[in-house]
């Protein structure tokens, strides 16, 4: 059994593309194609339907996917069990995080981690928190640093790190910016720019507003908070942003009775053996947050 063939299979299944799978695994596209061909020859089935530049799993591919995930998970666990015996902090550590957390929260912590543990090979991926949690649950990443889900899967262990206060933000020239405090009715009369429906952050923002005001006029949806901030700054509408994203061009508007928070933190598979590297990064994250310092 060639484990690398199963890794290639899962990457293609996840990306629905040979070229994107090659980028994910830092391989050439011919190398990915060769590994898939070897696996198909070994199993005697076709795993993907080739649909132009896109690919889709066949019935055999869909049946193989959960088995391949278990195989790779067992191999990783085997390596971790052996590595942990030495207590040495080394080896690969796969981490997935959201763009906002990766840009605004993690850089100084990852700098300290890589300086302290030079034998760890850190592999970082960026995706929306919802997809990141699913990827951790499926064993694709050892650790996630994300907006914590409101109703987490029982397979996930969630560790809160930061309470992230969200404020209603507008451009300095926006009509609401000159008012000391506005009502939900006044806020709802203006266009909004929000994350996509179904995301943790959109749910946290909309729930208290919808209960008291009703449907909002959402003119733009994007899951990148940096993009939302830019659109707010040029006056396209209001949004709810983390307080740390305010500045000279984007200001807070107080809304009567509205207080929005989300929790950022760690997620890891509850049944997965924790590697020394993952434990070291977790401890560093906890030590770097007010919440962690209070509980240490």
Contact between 219 and 194 (Cβ < 8 Å): no
* Exposed / middle / buried, residue 194 (Cβ in 10 Å: 0-12, 13-18, 19+): buried
pLDDT digits (tens, 9 = 90+) for 220-269: 999 999 999 999 999 999 999 999 999 999 999 999 988 899 999 999 99
- How far apart CA 185 and CA 121 sit, in angstroms, is 51
CATH number of 1-67: 1.10.10.10
Domain span(s) for CATH 3.40.190.290 in the chain: 163-263
Fold of the domain built from segment(s) 163-263: D-Maltodextrin-Binding Protein; domain 2 (3.40.190)
- How far apart CA 208 and CA 257 sit, in angstroms, is 9
Predicted confidence band of residue 294 (pLDDT cuts 50, 70, 90): very low
Residue 295 has pLDDT above 50, yes or no: no
- Contacting residues for 174 by C-beta, under 8 A, at least 6 apart: 190, 235, 238, 253
pTM score of the predicted model: 0.72
Contact between 193 and 122 (Cβ < 8 Å): no
Closest by CA to 265, choosing from 221, 295, 238, is 295
Tokens encoding 161: 């790190």
Tokens encoding 92: 């690969």
pLDDT score, position 86: 66
Tokens encoding 144: 């996630």
pLDDT score, position 138: 86
How many Cα atoms occupy the beta-carbon half-sphere of 73 within 13 Å?
A: 20
Q: How many helices (H) and strands (E) does the chain have?
A: 12, 11
Closest by CA to 267, choosing from 127, 169, 168, 66, is 127
- Contacting residues for 115 by C-beta, under 8 A, at least 6 apart: none
- How far apart CA 145 and CA 265 sit, in angstroms, is 5
Contact between 238 and 190 (Cβ < 8 Å): yes
Mean of the pLDDT values across residues 172-189?
92
Closest by CA to 15, choosing from 67, 45, 44, 53, is 53
Domain span(s) for CATH 1.10.10.10 in the chain: 1-67
Closest by CA to 163, choosing from 261, 16, 43, is 261
pLDDT digits (tens, 9 = 90+) for 64-113: 999 998 888 888 778 777 766 767 888 889 999 999 999 999 999 999 99
């Amino acid at each position: 059994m060639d484990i690398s063939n199963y890794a290639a299979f899962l990457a293609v299944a996840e990306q629905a593309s040979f070229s994107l799978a090659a980028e994910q695994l830092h391989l050439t596209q011919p190398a990915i194609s060769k590994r898939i061909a070897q696996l198909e020859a070994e199993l005697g089935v076709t795993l993907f339907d080739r649909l132009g530049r896109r690919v889709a799993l066949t019935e055999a591919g869909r049946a193989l996917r959960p088995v391949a995930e278990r195989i790779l998970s067992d191999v990783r666990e085997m390596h971790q069990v052996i590595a942990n015996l030495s207590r040495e902090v080394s080896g690969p550590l796969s981490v997935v995080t959201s763009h906002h957390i990766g840009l605004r929260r993690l850089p100084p912590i990852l700098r300290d981690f890589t300086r302290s543990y030079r034998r760890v090979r850190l592999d970082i991926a960026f995706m929306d928190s919802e997809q990141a949690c699913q990827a951790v649950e499926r064993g694709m990443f050892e650790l996630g640093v994300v907006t914590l889900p409101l109703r987490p899967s029982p397979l996930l262990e969630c560790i809160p790190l930061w309470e992230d206060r969200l404020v209603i933000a507008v451009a300095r020239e926006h009509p609401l910016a000159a008012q000391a405090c506005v009502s939900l009715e006044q806020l709802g009369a203006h266009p909004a720019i929000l994350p996509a429906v179904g995301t943790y952050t959109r749910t946290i923002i909309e729930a208290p507003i919808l209960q008291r005001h009703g449907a909002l006029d959402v003119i733009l949806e994007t899951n990148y908070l940096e993009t939302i901030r830019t659109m707010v700054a040029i006056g396209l509408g209001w949004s709810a942003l983390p307080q740390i994203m305010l500045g000279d061009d984007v200001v807070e508007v107080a809304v009567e009775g509205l207080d929005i928070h989300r929790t950022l933190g760690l997620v890891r598979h509850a049944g997965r053996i924790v590697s020394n590297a993952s434990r070291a990064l977790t401890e560093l994250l906890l030590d770097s947050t007010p919440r962690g310092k209070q509980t240490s």
